[in-house]
Chains A and B, each alone.
Chain A
Amino acid sequence: MNKTKKNTGKKAVTGIVAAVVSATLMLFGLNGGDAIEVKYDLVQADKVTELKIYPDEDVSVDIVELYCNGSIVTKALLPTETLKSIPFVFSDLTNLELRLYKEGDVIGVGSFNEDKKLYVAFK
């Protein structure tokens, strides 16, 4: 198993990504907020790629869903599980979206920018 990417960015605000995810936030009646960079690991093996995200503990995300081109791929329970799919699904990170849940409510929406950094706009 080869680790192909580890992104360890600090908090930041990006206007473009925030605008993209805010469209999805509006679907859930959320105003959106600053987009915050979230650390993640992308681990690729022969037939499967696993995405693990590390949102701050204080936001207490419990479920994360992965979408590709608007369709749900899979979901995972945090902090123990990873998002798993075929490597092809992760071939262009900019076509992916994450929805972060806490106790049944969407509290954040995330996407990757061209630099493969993950930004999440929290409620």
Chain B
Amino acid sequence: MFLGIQNILGGISDVFTLSNLLVIAGGILLGQVVGAAPGLNAIMAIAIAVPLTFYMSPLAAIAFLLAVNKGGAFGGSVTAILVNTPGSPEAAATCLDGHPLAQKGQAEKALKVSLYSSIFGDTFSDLVLALVAAPLSVVALRMGPPEITTVILFSLTLIAAVAGRSLLIGLLAACFGFMMSLIGTDPIEGTSRLSFGIIELEDGIPLVSSAIGLLAVSEIFLQFEKKIAGHSHAVSKVASPEPADRQVSKREFKGILPAILRGSVIGTGIGILPGVGAVIASFISYGSAKRASKHQELFGKGSLEGIAAAESANNAVIGANLIPLFTLGIPGNVVAAILIGAFMIHGVIPGPTMFQDHGRLIAGIFTAMLLANLVNFLIARASLRVYAKTAFLPRSIVFPVILILCITGAYISENGMFGVIVMYACGLVGYFMAKFNISYVPFIIGYILGPIFETNLRQTLIISGGSLEIFFTRPLALALIILTLISIVRFVWQRNKI
């Protein structure tokens, strides 16, 4: 056992304290409510929730943020099913069958299928994470600066290619993320860099405020721009009185089980790849469930298999996306990127050394993740009808309250006005990125990975005396360069454009 039995037992016992259990339940509740509210999603909830963790222990803080993510992922399906508006992009595939079912008065049944599938997919990928992360980190520990540089290069290329509307735009966004990370103090010499004489900039652009701005405030600006008058796709609020229309029978559950299993495997497999997010996983799983189904004609008209396939896959991405973070210190998605910030705030550097230096914490996090799935299930099961009402909250109430919460979070994170100014500036950047259809994912991941990439690239060049030959003489680095080139060529070939 890599973590050691003492660390594992210690980690498990750390989770089962009253305060940690309350923190997990609170995170799940917050995530579910925010996810179920129209226009809000788990990523926004996590960005806003980071300042709340400043005074928590590292385990409580990470468990809380992961719980928010898990709760939010399920909450996103509530709006998808009830109002045909996915609470998060990955719930888009759930709309296809969830909403038609709700229109037939079977919203409760659709929500239950979504819940069972979400929890199964999430638990499956958490178990894979717990089993795979430690052995992979042993391999990762053998990597030197040239290998880490090329891993980041490969990840960024993959993220830029799949997250943006074109590879060039994605790479440009990542470069702008790098540029944002340049401001502050030089990571090797420790001298001032691009701070323009502003004292607050000496520490760099603060992560929490910028994440709140990019993810939450930009969405608020977009909502301000629209004139909102109710929901365009109102669902019949009258539920069917028939118990069969509200419950999932054993026979129905048996029928959707293959779709859940397939979705969990697809979601976990896709989630391991950096940048290839839950949206792709849920649509691939949906398509594959349709091909395998005996009732293909029901897909798009309220198929339980369709909901199960989409939800199990998009939730299975959650745990799997943390594998690159825990083993290499590379965020696989925006949530993982925000988690890096949260880890660092608590003095933990994500990556393979975490398993050596913080084995007990890692064991605690894995336990908390599995426990959070159970709590997610219990809270959601008890509150399905309340969330059904949350989905109909007017946006003119939700977004102003979120704006105040953002201002509070940004102010607290920097203990001053600077945080709020950065938040608004990043909010405007995110707003214009959305207007120009540029994904913020490569930008924010470029910003997070910038210092790690820079340090490793410079260390590599110092080791090699400035020669790039080192990248071609180390087998793993060479393999990763070839993979990067193949992914670029393949992307250009498939989309017929750069």
Q: Do A and B come from one complex?
A: no
* Residues of B bordering A, CB below 8 Å: none
* Residues of A bordering B, CB below 8 Å: none
